[in-house]
Each structure stands twice: as C-alpha cells, then as structure tokens.
Chain A
Amino acid sequence: MCVPEASWVPAERLKFVNRFVVERADSCISCGLCASLCPNGVHKRVEGHASILPPYNQRCIGPSCASNDYYCVRRCPTSSLSVRASETFPALGDVRWTADMVLATWRMAETGEPMPLDHPANLGACGGGFDQLHFRIPKGGSKPKDYQFETSVELNRRKTGPRVKIDIPVYGGGMSYGSVSLYTMVARAKAAQAWGTFTCTGEGGYPVELIPYKDHVITQIATGLFGVKEETIQRAPIIEFKYAQGAKPGLGGHLLWEKNTPLVAKMREAVPHTSLFSPFPFHSVYSVEDHKKHLDWISSVNPQALLSVKVSTPNDVEMVAVGSYYAGAHIVHLDGGYGGTGAAPEIAKKNIATPIEYAIPKVHRFLTNEGIREDVTLIASGGIRNALDVAKAIALGADGVVIGTAELVALGCVRCGNCESGRGCPRGIATTDPELIHQMDTEWGAKRISNLFLAWRGQWGDLLSRFDMHDLKELRGRTDLLRFDGGKEVKA
C-alpha cells in the first residue's frame, strides 16, 4: 500500500487550551528577556512595540520547565511571571473523551506524529470497557524505524463477489448531509480516498459533491429511506443497511427541525423545517426472511456491491449476526451503545443496548463456533476513540472498526455536544447553517483526518512490533494479550 505523507496542518483556533497558564504581573518592565529565552514561543515581542505580548499559554510546557536554564519564571528580573494549572483545561472534554485525548487527537491531526503507547491520552477515564482493557506489552523492545507491517483488511471474505480491500482497518461511519456539513462530508471522503478506505453517506442522500470520490463512499439505506435512489445504490461499492445505531438503539433516526434547512430537505425529499424521524425498524422487515428479501433487492439493483448490515448490540446480537450472514451480508457491523454522533435521547445512550466491548467477543466466538467466522467481516463501532481502542477491538475479535467522532475531533470538534439543535455545531462541523459552515474548508479537513490515520498507523506499528507481529490481522481475537482491570466492584 502507499502510505500518504504527513503534512503540517495547524489550526490556530484550536490553540486555546493547555494544562498551564502563564501570568505576567503589572510589574513587568517589558525587558524582553523571556522572549529571548523561551524556545517554545510562549513570550513574544513584536518589533517596534514597547510592551511584550500577553503570554501564549498554549505553548507552555508547565512547571516541569523549572529544570531548564531558560525557565522564564526564575529568570525574570522583576519576578513578574508565574505558571499555574489552567482552569479551562478541565472544562474541555468528558470522562470518555478526556481533555488529554482531545488534545492528543488534535495534535496527531496537526502533525501526523503517533503518540507513544504509554501516553495517558490513549485511555479515557470512564472506568470501564476499553478504559480498563490494556495490552500486556512485553518489556523493552521498541520499534525499529523501518519496521514493516500490514494493516489492510479484506471486506469480502466470501468465496464469490468483488474483492474489496481497505488499507487500514478503519472506515468512516454514516453521518448524513444535514447532521454534518457538506465540507465535513467531502473532507472525510477525500481522506478516505487518500487512505484507500471508505466513508459513508449516512441517511441523508448522496450529495453530488461526493461523486468524484464515489469509489470510496458507502451508500447507507436506513429506515426512513431518505435520499435513497437507484443511482445512489448503483454508484456505491458497498451498501450499508442501517437497522439500528448505537447512539439510539431501537429508536430510529432523528433530525431536529432546525437543522432541516431547505437544501437538506431537498436532498431528503422532505418538507423543510420539520423534524425528520426515521422509524424503527424497517417497516418492510419483520423477520430474518424479510431481511434476506431486502438484501436480495439491493443485489439485484447493484450486483457488484458488498452488503453491510449495521445493527446495534442487544442481548441476542450474536443471533442477529448469524442471521445477517445467512441472509447474504458480507459485513456485519455492530454499533455499540456508547457511540454515535447524532442527536439522541440521553436515556438511550447510557441505558439501551450494551457497550461494544461486550458484543465483539460474544459475536466473534459465536461466529467461530458456527463455522462461518472466516466468511464474514466483523466490523465494530460505537465509542472507538483512538488507535489503541481500534487495536483492542481487533484483539477482542473484530476485523476492523468504523469511526465517526474521532474524525470530527480531528476537524476541531470540542465535544460540547450541541450539534443536534438550533443552528447546529457552533464550530461549523456538524451544521448546515450557511454562516457557520465557513469555519472549515475541505482541503484542510481532509489533511487533518489523513494525518490522524497516519498517526494511528504509527501506533499500530509500534504495538505490532512489541508483539513481534507484522500484520494487524494476527492480533484478531488475541484476548490473551489483553488484561482487564475491572470486574471487582460490580460483583452482585
């Protein structure tokens, strides 16, 4: 495969938070010593200005700098400088996406440099699931620079049909036109093209701007059938049936009226400024036989397409997976309860259907015992936030994963969670507001997502080298390489 190169894609508007704050007291005489000392560029004096600029906190490395000669706080002749912990830092993120993880994702999107495997940003703080699963990495043995490894995944594992391979075990989840902006969609498609993988239209139609990337765009068919046309089915190499989604398992889809602008409505063939519900379930599917009929319908419209079935994680998820396989699906896509990007009732996110961590090993084992594991691709999604989550999902038994939130964070999402209503995302990512969307452009976005994948690939390489492996596929189902920290306090 050809690995895209890293590019430097900074975002000035994401440089607003750091762990530390540098304060300059009024006693400063603007001598400029600090500006000449600091190698990180915290202090700056513009040529011709009498006084020095306010400190650039985001560049400060904190009190640990005291061991350096150039520690500004100590060297300041008037003792006007001080460094303390930032109060803004804890206001960013949440226990699942910690501030560290958000900042690390931004940094990887900016530079394409992988984070070390022991970096705190690889773990969230939600106290369960992936956050309590760790790789049992053998001591020593860091990666040789030219370590060769393979990350591709074959998506059609049946004996017949077109061969479709993705170069990294990740593709983009469905985010509809309407839920996110066109710029976001195109940026994701561009990055998918660069990495030989896919992105997904979501349930909101197939904008013409995506057609240049059509070999890397999955058409989603969901219960509302919004924007599904014969040509959008024929255009796509993979068709994804969305039976349920992790954000709101069993509840269908929901676009609040404020985000249903005339353009969105046109694409969906709906009335502007009405709330759009996708029902649950497909009204034409009430049994596994109906489900097969559904897949057959698509096969007849586009015989070259792979069929993916996206389901959520109920108690009997393994039966659903087996049923989908026998109905003709190439890909079984499990979407766990804690993920998702769309508007969802809070009660559904926490309480309905299980987190993905429980579903993957269950389905993997069941498919293995059924003797069909090698004929079907198992894709996991829902709360997979970083490269190590991907690797853990694979070690639990998945072939690959689907991500959504991580891409949005790479585009500058701060996880404030207000994408669902009003004018939508105030940062212009998940919105169709004609004014707000201009905060982003597609080239910039595509490079940042591409950088993120590059950094992730570096982390997978690092991980593989520790286990003396050369292919991510070797990791699949290797639960013996994992350690679980939980399971003690919840004992009934």
Chain B
Amino acid sequence: MYERYHIHVEAAPPRYVPVPKFLMVRADNCINCGKCERNCVYGVHKRREDDPRQMADPISQLCKNCFRCVAECPQRALTLSLNQEFLALGNGVWTPQRIQTIWNESEMGKIPVLGAGYRGMFSGPGYDSMWTDMSEIVRPTRDGIHGREHISTNVIIGRNPFYLQFGPKGELLTPMPSFVELPLPFIFDLCRLKNITPAMQQGFARAAADLNTLLIVPMEDLDKVEREIPSANVVPVVRKISDLELVPPGTRMVEIEWDEGWEAVIKAARAKMPDVILGVRLMSGPGLEQRLLQTGQSVDVVHILLDSNGQDEEGRYARDKLRELHRSLVKEGHRDEVTIIVGGGIAAAEHVPKSIICGADLVTLEEALLVSQGCRACADCKEGNCPAEVTTAPSEYVKGRTINMCNAWRDQMLEVLGAMGIKEVRRLRGEVGRAIFQEDAERDSFVGITGGDASG
C-alpha cells in the first residue's frame, strides 16, 4: 500500500529555561494586592507557594508583552523591558528571533503561528530580500494544503540521463545511473560543527535514520555513529585514497574534500565502487563556476559550502551565487548531470525553499542542528564555556529536538509550496520566475519615483 511520508513528533521541552525576550520586574512598592495575578492570562504572576501573602517573582519567560498587568498595577510597581541578553543572542543571519523560533519549533514540532500581522524588517540581506510567489485564482494543480492532494518533498541525488533509449522489444537500453531518493530536501552535515560530542553525533544520526535522510560525517567519526544509522543513510567524507578502504558496505554516497589530488581520489573511488554516488565539497569563492563545470564532469554531486551567514569568500550571498551557478550550468547544458547541495547559513525554514528556488537541489543543515538543541549561535563558540551547555545534551534529547525541527520545517515548506500551487519540491528548483526579488520589484514598481529606479 502507498504510504505518505510522515514525521512523528513528540514534545521535547528544553533542558534549561530559554532566554526570555521580555523581563518583568516587580518593584519593592508592590502591596501584594494580586491584581496582576487576576489580570494575567498567561500565568506570569503567582503568589508564593510558601507564603501566599506575598507575590512570587514574575515568570518572565511566560510573558507575551500584553502590558495588562503593567497597566492595571495600582502601585505602578511592574516594569516590562526588553531583555538585553535576548537581544545579544546569535550573530549575522542568526537573529535572536530566528534562534527563538528554532527553539520553539524544536520543542513542539509545529509551525510558528501568530496573529496581528508581520512585525519584522521589510527586507534584509540575502534570502531576506526575496519573496515567494503564490497562485491566485487560477490554480489547476491542487486544492489547498488542507485538501486531498499530496505535496511531495522528495528529492533525488544523482545524475539524470539526458534521454532514454529503448530496444525493439521496448526494453530499456540506456544504462541507469544510480541515485538516492530522499523524502526531504535537507540532509545533515556534521563536518563543520565545532565542539560536538559523540552523544550529539549519535542523536543526529538517529534522527537522520528516523527521518530517512542522509548524515554527512567525517571519516574519523564514522565509528561513533555506525551503530545508530544504516550505512545507506551515511555519507562519509573521504580525504585520501586510503580512506576508501574504510567506506562501509551499503554506503550509497561518498563525499570528497576538494583538495590537492581530488581527481585521483575520485578516479580511485569510481573504480572501486562504481555504484556509489560521488560528491565533491567545494568552498564557494571566486572561480567557483569554473571549478563546478570542471568537477561536474567527473562527480555526481557538488556540495557548495558557504559560511554561517550563507555568504561566500567574496561576501556574496547564496541568493545571488546560486542563481548565477544554476544559470550557467543550464546554459552549458550540464545542470541535470550534477546535483547541487548547498550548506551554510540555513537559519530558518524559509531558507530551504528559497535555496531551491535559487537553483540548489537540496540543502544541508549544520548550525541549525545545534541551535535546535538550545545553542545560542554565539559569534565565537568556545568549548567548555557554552552558556547553553549544549555539549551535555543526551542523544535521545538531541534526536527528539532535531526531528521536531525538521517536521516544522517540512510543514512550512509545504505551506510555501502549497501557496505556489506546486506539487513537488523538485519542480521548484531554479524556478526564479516564481519568486520576487527586491531589486527587480523596486525597479519595476518604483520607476518614476526619485531614487526608485536608481538600482536599475
């Protein structure tokens, strides 16, 4: 029987109280009248259990800044302020809001829903200055995300043959290249995570196994995860030819660091395991296009690495870089010979469909995996000095939180696809016509306004 892909989520409350956005402070002139307790619908204000004559300290993390208690306090003893510690969370594209969102997603596995409209910046760097399209009245393909139709999030890693050839009896003559089909367009990459413990690696491995996605691990850490996840879901990263001996049987894909002599490693790998998909990891930077066209001939997958802000070495954002690469590959006629995986700077659910629109086939989750465990994405991560004590997370906790985040992200991707009227994520690839880019929109719409067409 046909089964829909389904992610099972369970609430995974955080191990420590998350940094609250608002701080509620009760001043000394409180007369313990309890008016705040009666007014608060969220339970911020409570009397002390040991002494009900007095009010307990407010529970700031429950506060949703409705200001009702502040307004009603007869003594004006309550002060609500923005928590400076919250504002200091994260760095770059890892804004405090995004970090808090990932924490919430990882706890419940649900799509964040709020009322009262949008409250953030108009646009921002990179993916923040593009919008996805939606289908209005005419939409023959689907009847809503709550309807009957299935939206597929499956993606395929591997080469696509240009055309199929059949023999006189209808038999397929074209040799079919091997491929990996995944139910999600995101895979986990543990190679670039700093200060990660074996327990966390195991947690991520179990989550990847449960989700049936891939886990990219450095060769030297393979022994730590191999009991938790089938080898078919592990992608070992190979550096030298001798590493190839260690690739476990059943492996479907191997990645190779782009380094001196990578061609020899590829050649050896091809000869040793012709059915395994080979990928190469490239740091994005000047000349990436050339390297991509060059490597694209010999490997099946190009894994582009960006920094944690989603920028390349020149500071260009994935939004522009990917579009350019995709376009040049299409122009050269090579796009279907290579799968593009992009990693780095994927900090929110919307970055997955946006990366795919700009030309990637799928993305890797890196830092987001840590943030889902309570990491605060500090600018410099020092071992032993983690304010969130991420490194002490047990593997079961890591697994649950990771699965929850992935479910929330997949569901949000369905919302985006649903709004666009697209039934499968593979058809989203390179669909820049179904997105609106800020510079284009401003050039088109603000022509005739002083300053409006300056960028055009």
Residues of A within 8 A of B (CB): 13-17, 54, 57, 87-88, 90-92, 94-97, 126-129, 131-133, 136, 243-244, 247, 249-252, 254, 256, 277, 279-281, 283, 285-288, 291, 311-312, 314-317, 320, 323-324, 337-355, 357-362, 383, 405, 408, 413-423, 425-427, 430, 436, 479-480, 482-492
List the A residue with the shortest CB-CB distance to B145: A251
B119 contact from A311, A417, A485, Cβ within 8 A: A417
B455 to A488, Cβ gap below 8 A?
yes
A483 to B115, Cβ gap below 8 A?
no
Say what secondary structure dominates the interface of chain A: loop
A346 to B114, Cβ gap below 8 A?
yes
Tell me how far the C-beta of A211 lies from the nearest C-beta in chain B, rounded to whole angstroms.
28
A-contacting residues, B55-70, CB 8 Å = 64-68, 70
Q: What is the bound-complex CA distance between A346 and B95, given in angstroms?
A: 15
Q: What is the bound-complex CA distance between A316 and B420, given in angstroms?
A: 12
A-B pairs with beta carbons under 8 Å apart, 8 shown: A17-B67, A345-B412, A346-B101, A351-B416, A352-B131, A361-B446, A415-B116, A488-B454
Q: Which residues of A contact B348 (CB under 8 A)?
A: 347
Q: Which 6 A-B pairs have the closest CB atoms?
A: A128-B122, A250-B419, A419-B115, A250-B134, A87-B81, A94-B119
Q: Which residues of A contact B203 (CB under 8 A)?
A: none
A486 to B350, Cβ gap below 8 A?
no
B76 to A243, Cβ gap below 8 A?
no
B68 to A338, Cβ gap below 8 A?
no
Tell me how far the C-beta of A164 lies from the nearest C-beta in chain B, rounded to whole angstroms.
24
B136 to A320, Cβ gap below 8 A?
yes
Q: What is the bound-complex CA distance between A419 and B354, given in angstroms?
A: 29
Tell me how far the C-beta of A8 lies from the nearest C-beta in chain B, rounded to whole angstroms.
20
Q: What is the bound-complex CA distance between A244 and B22, given in angstroms?
A: 34
List the B residue with the shortest CB-CB distance to A279: B144
A96 to B119, Cβ gap below 8 A?
yes
In this assembly, does B215 line the interface, its C-beta being within 8 Å of a C-beta of chain A? no
B118 contact from A285, A337, A421, A482, Cβ within 8 A: A337
A416 to B66, Cβ gap below 8 A?
yes
A487 to B118, Cβ gap below 8 A?
no
B121 to A347, Cβ gap below 8 A?
no
A287 to B419, Cβ gap below 8 A?
no
Q: Which residues of A contact B257 (CB under 8 A)?
A: none
Q: Which residues of B contact A338 (CB under 8 A)?
A: 117-118, 122
Q: Which residues of A contact B71 (CB under 8 A)?
A: 13-16
B448 to A480, Cβ gap below 8 A?
yes
Most buried by B among A88, A285, A405: A88
In this assembly, does B29 line the interface, its C-beta being within 8 Å of a C-beta of chain A? yes
Q: What is the bound-complex CA distance between A13 and B420, given in angstroms?
A: 43
A251 to B143, Cβ gap below 8 A?
no
In this assembly, does B11 line the interface, its C-beta being within 8 Å of a C-beta of chain A? no
A-contacting residues, B125-154, CB 8 Å = 125, 128-129, 131-140, 143-147
A490 to B455, Cβ gap below 8 A?
yes
A418 contact from B114, B128, B420, Cβ within 8 A: B114
Q: Which residues of B contact A95 (CB under 8 A)?
A: 119-121
Q: A426-B64, A490-B129 are in contact. List 10 more A-B contacts (CB 8 A).
A: A87-B79, A244-B134, A252-B144, A288-B137, A346-B113, A347-B111, A352-B419, A355-B131, A423-B41, A483-B450
Q: What is the bound-complex CA distance between A490 and B134, given in angstroms?
A: 23
Most buried by A among B348, B350, B436: B436
Q: A418-B114, A490-B455 are in contact. Are A251 and B434 (CB under 8 A)?
A: no
Q: Spot the interface stretch: B217-225, B227-235, B396-404, B437-445.
A: B437-445
Tell me how far the C-beta of A379 lies from the nearest C-beta in chain B, rounded to whole angstroms.
16
Q: What is the bound-complex CA distance between A133 and B449, given in angstroms?
A: 9
B121 to A126, Cβ gap below 8 A?
yes
Q: What is the bound-complex CA distance between A344 and B111, given in angstroms?
A: 10
Q: What is the bound-complex CA distance between A128 and B438, given in angstroms?
A: 10
Q: What is the bound-complex CA distance between A119 and B198, given in angstroms?
A: 58
List the B residue with the shortest CB-CB distance to A94: B119
B122 to A286, Cβ gap below 8 A?
no
In this assembly, does B75 line the interface, its C-beta being within 8 Å of a C-beta of chain A? yes
Q: A250-B420, A420-B114, A487-B455 are in contact. Are A92 and B119 (CB under 8 A)?
A: no
In this assembly, does B418 line the interface, its C-beta being within 8 Å of a C-beta of chain A? yes
B448 to A479, Cβ gap below 8 A?
yes
List the A residue with the shortest CB-CB distance to B123: A128
In this assembly, does B112 line the interface, its C-beta being within 8 Å of a C-beta of chain A? yes
Residues of B within 8 A of A (CB): 22, 29, 39-42, 64-68, 70-72, 75-76, 79-82, 101, 111-123, 125, 128-129, 131-140, 143-147, 320, 348-350, 354, 412, 415-416, 418-421, 433-434, 436-439, 441-442, 444-455
Q: What is the bound-complex CA distance between A324 and B412, given in angstroms?
A: 30
B76 to A57, Cβ gap below 8 A?
yes
B70 to A16, Cβ gap below 8 A?
yes
Q: Which residues of B contact A17 (CB under 8 A)?
A: 67, 70
A355 contact from B80, B111, B122, B136, Cβ within 8 A: B122
B121 to A128, Cβ gap below 8 A?
yes
Q: What is the bound-complex CA distance between A92 and B452, given in angstroms?
A: 32
B320 to A340, Cβ gap below 8 A?
no
Q: Which residues of A contact B113 (CB under 8 A)?
A: 254, 256, 343-346, 420-421
Q: What is the bound-complex CA distance between A314 and B446, given in angstroms?
A: 17
Tell me how far the C-beta of B129 lies from the nearest C-beta in chain A, rounded to whole angstroms.
5
Q: Which residues of B contact A416 (CB under 8 A)?
A: 64-67, 116
Q: What is the bound-complex CA distance between A243 and B138, given in angstroms?
A: 11
Q: A249-B134, A281-B144 are in contact. Are A350 and B412 (CB under 8 A)?
A: no
Tell me how far the C-beta of A295 lies from the nearest C-beta in chain B, rounded to whole angstroms.
11
B146 to A277, Cβ gap below 8 A?
yes
Q: Which residues of A contact B131 (CB under 8 A)?
A: 337, 351-355
Q: What is the bound-complex CA distance between A432 and B205, given in angstroms?
A: 46
List the B residue with the shortest CB-CB distance to A338: B118
Q: A88-B81, A288-B138 are in contact. Are A484 and B451 (CB under 8 A)?
A: yes
B112 to A353, Cβ gap below 8 A?
no
Q: What is the bound-complex CA distance between A409 and B101, given in angstroms?
A: 26
A13 contact from B72, B416, B419, Cβ within 8 A: B72
A405 to B121, Cβ gap below 8 A?
no
A312 to B451, Cβ gap below 8 A?
no
Tell me how far the C-beta of B430 lies from the nearest C-beta in chain A, rounded to whole angstroms.
16
A252 contact from B70, B146, B454, Cβ within 8 A: B146
Q: Which residues of A contact B68 (CB under 8 A)?
A: 13, 426-427
Q: A249-B419, A337-B118, A487-B442 are in contact. Are A291 and B137 (CB under 8 A)?
A: yes
Q: Which residues of B contact A291 (CB under 8 A)?
A: 137
A279 to B143, Cβ gap below 8 A?
yes
Q: What is the bound-complex CA distance between A15 and B72, given in angstroms?
A: 10
Q: What is the bound-complex CA distance between A149 and B90, given in angstroms?
A: 51
Q: A353-B133, A420-B113 are in contact. Are A88 and B119 (CB under 8 A)?
A: no
A362 to B140, Cβ gap below 8 A?
no
Tell me how far the C-beta of B254 lies from the nearest C-beta in chain A, rounded to whole angstroms.
34
Q: Which residues of B contact A418 (CB under 8 A)?
A: 64, 66, 114-115
B22 contact from A91, A420, A427, Cβ within 8 A: A91
Q: Which residues of B contact A417 (CB under 8 A)?
A: 64, 114-117, 119
Tell me how far the C-beta of B280 lies from the nearest C-beta in chain A, rounded to whole angstroms.
27
List the B residue with the shortest CB-CB distance to A16: B71
B146 contact from A16, A279, A314, Cβ within 8 A: A279
Q: Which residues of A contact B145 (CB under 8 A)?
A: 251, 280
B137 contact from A285, A342, A352, Cβ within 8 A: A285
Q: What is the bound-complex CA distance between A351 and B79, given in angstroms?
A: 34
